[in-house]
């Protein structure tokens, strides 16, 4: 799909993977709406990259509806990328007792319910679009499409470490619903893909000591370094451009397989 002139919604777009994705989509000619929390740097980021900012919690139906409506005002909403999420860690039974149920529920609500909330509302808006046949790959037949949705899981969906029961459950569910979502939306000519990043340079990672970052990077077979948000964004761009990518989760991890801890 050619994104020039279309509208795109990026959740978690104020930082990390979401910001890099928003920048890449703006560079491709899309009208981008960054959806992030009101306390985020979303407004400043949007101004600096030529995007629009709508403060919202991805798990709030009304707030996401407003963000989708804002995106539609800019042009037909044809791209939605879900990067918003939280990383939590707690053993099922630790020194202070059992895993806090509230923490588990909050992780699921943001990472899974939030992703589905944005997906369903964005897909409903995409269903109103006229199909466009716009392959941007040489030699590839033009394929009618109304939209593309890219969700974000994690390698923790498959290689969950000690203390990651809640996080892995939330990201595993995002990966698991990719195929049924793609099948549900196929008649609407909307594709759904998921990216499962490994260890990336994000604000959360930047808060860790240098020696911890170096240790994590050393675990990645090749390239033996942390992934960059630009590499995530580049994969998003290719997914949008390649009409045969649908209903699958792609690991973007340098071949890492996480150890128990």
Q: Kindly report the CA angle at 107 between 101 and 113, in degrees rounded to 5?
A: 115
- Rounded to whole angstroms, how far apart are CA atoms 40 and 10? 14
Residue 232 among the catalytic residues:
no
Q: Is the bond into 223 cis (omega within 30 degrees of 0)?
A: yes
First to last CA, the chain: 40
How many residues belong to the chain? 261
Going from the C-alpha of 214 to that of each of 18, 53, 209, 211, 246, the distances in angstroms are: 24, 34, 9, 5, 35
Looking at 167, 226, 229, 236, which residue is catalytic? 167
Residue among 252, 181, 257, 255 at smallest CA distance from 21: 252
- Rounded to whole angstroms, how far apart are CA atoms 15 and 21? 10
Yes or no: say if 18 and 83 are a contact pair by the CB < 8 Å rule.
yes
For 33, other C-beta atoms within 10 Å of its C-beta total 29
Exposed / middle / buried, residue 44 (Cβ in 10 Å: 0-12, 13-18, 19+): exposed
- Rounded to whole angstroms, how far apart are CA atoms 261 and 259? 5
Map tokens 């992934």 to a residue. 227
- Rounded to whole angstroms, how far apart are CA atoms 79 and 1? 9
- Rounded to whole angstroms, how far apart are CA atoms 257 and 199? 11
Q: Which amino acids are annotated catalytic?
A: 167
């Amino acid at each position: 799909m050619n994104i020039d002139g279309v509208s795109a919604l990026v959740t978690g777009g104020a930082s990390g993977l979401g910001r890099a994705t928003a920048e890449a989509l703006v560079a491709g000619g899309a009208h981008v709406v960054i959806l992030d929390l009101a306390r985020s740097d979303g407004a400043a980021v949007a101004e600096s990259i030529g995007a629009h900012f709508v403060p919202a919690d991805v798990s709030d139906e009304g707030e996401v509806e407003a963000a989708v409506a804002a995106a539609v005002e800019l042009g037909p909403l044809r791209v939605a990328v879900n990067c918003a999420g939280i990383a939590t860690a707690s053993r099922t039974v630790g020194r202070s007792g059992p895993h806090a149920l509230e923490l588990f529920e909050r992780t699921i609500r943001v990472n899974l319910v939030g992703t589905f909330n944005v997906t369903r509302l964005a897909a409903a808006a995409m269903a109103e679009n006229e199909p466009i046949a716009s392959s941007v790959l040489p030699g590839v037949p033009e394929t009618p499409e109304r939209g593309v949705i890219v969700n974000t899981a994690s390698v923790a969906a498959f290689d969950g470490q000690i203390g990651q029961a809640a996080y892995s459950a939330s990201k595993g569910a995002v990966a698991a619903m990719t195929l049924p979502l793609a099948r549900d939306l196929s008649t609407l000519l909307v594709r759904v893909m998921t990216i499962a990043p490994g260890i990336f340079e994000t604000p959360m990672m930047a808060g860790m000591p240098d020696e911890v970052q170096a240790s994590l990077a050393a675990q990645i077979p090749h390239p033996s370094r942390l992934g960059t948000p630009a590499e995530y964004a580049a994969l998003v761009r290719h997914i949008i451009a390649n009409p045969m990518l649908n209903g699958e989760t792609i690991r973007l991890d340098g071949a890492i397989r996480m150890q128990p801890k």
